[in-house]
Structure 1
Amino acid sequence: MSSFRHRLLGLPVVLVALITAAGCSSSDDRATAAVPSPDAAVTKLCGNLDAALPRKVDGLSRADPRPDSALTAGWGSPAIILRCGVPRPAEMNDPEADGAEVNGVGWLLAKQPDGSFLFTTTLRKAYVEVSLPASRTGNGVAPLVSLAPAVKKAIPEGIAD
């Protein structure tokens, strides 16, 4: 009978441990983003960009996507996602591709089939991609206005390899 009693006394400890573990494992509702894998030189530039990025973009607070990386950043939900060190988009070979300059930073503009937009920097030593969900397109290129100073500061002009 004493062994049964010892098992019952251990039960509350096990229950507390299970409840604590369940409470700590909250659902992480952050956006996800594929992390680019650039070379070391571009990774360093992207780290500089991460440090220079604003806390708010288009009035939205920074909420970085999963997995955590200095190569990705996000704002709001649904998130505006920035990825630094992405490969050169094939659309840059198209002379008919849409582009714009926003506060001294050139961007390739690509409307996606779902109504979202994908912007990629041009004429910089690293390619920086910004995805703008369809629900966030009402303010046009306002997110790029917020991001341009950080890009200009961290990613020098030039041609990325």
Structure 2
Amino acid sequence: MRLFRHRPLGLPPLVLVLAITVAGCSSADDTATAEVPSPDATVTELCGKLDDALPATVAGRERDDPQPASTLTAGWGSPAIILRCGVVRPPKMIDPKVAEGGDADAVAGGVDGVDWLQEKAGDGGFRFTTASRVAYVEVTVPGEREGDSAGVLVDLAPAIKGAVPEGIAD
């Protein structure tokens, strides 16, 4: 004895709705985002030169720029190592405790001819900001990549030295 003589009409639309819902939920968007700085025209020009000079890979990660697209931002890998050029001077850069080594969350140092302020980030990673350059360049290394920090700075140093002259940024 057949219980279902006819194909239930409600089933195909239900299957279709479920398939669309699952497909919508399963598509992960790995695109990184970064706030685009808004420096003056001189710094914007330097940042454009830096963008042209940046390496295709950093710490073994391929370049994959964040959104929105801008010559003031760049990214590598996922989770992304993010570079932002033309940021404002970090407040800790003028804090005397940092200069004397008294602030455990912020340390000054240099890598391959580029001076940096290193700050701990909330996710266990680090934010590095150039010092003694005409434009401030910020590099954020997420916690999952914190072991790559030295390699990141070594890979970026030639581009920064070549595009952003030494000096004091406003």
* TM-score normalised per structure 2: 0.77
Distance 1:124 1:99 in 2: 14
Counterpart of 2:137 (choices 128, 133, 147) is 128
Matches within 5 A, 1:63-142: 63-97=64-98, 98-142=107-151
Query: What one-letter code is carried by the residue in structure 1 that aligns with 2:48?
Result: G
Q: Secondary structure in 1 aligned to 2:96?
A: coil
Distance 1:130 1:153 in 2: 17
Unpaired runs of 5+ in structure 1? 1-25
Distance 1:109 1:149 in 2: 19
Displacement of 1:138 in angstroms is 1.5
Task: Report the counterpart of residue 23 of structure 1 in structure 2.
Answer: none
Displacement of 1:67 in angstroms is 0.3
Matches within 5 A, 1:1-20: none
Percent identical residues: 62
* TM-score normalised per structure 1: 0.81
Distance 1:89 1:139 in 2: 22
Displacement of 1:140 in angstroms is 3.6
Distance 1:55 1:152 in 2: 17
Displacement of 1:28 in angstroms is 4.7
Q: Whose radius of gyration is greater, 1 or 2?
A: 2
1:43 aligns with 2:51: no
Q: Secondary structure in 2 aligned to 1:141?
A: helix
Task: Report the counterpart of residue 7 of structure 1 in structure 2.
Answer: none
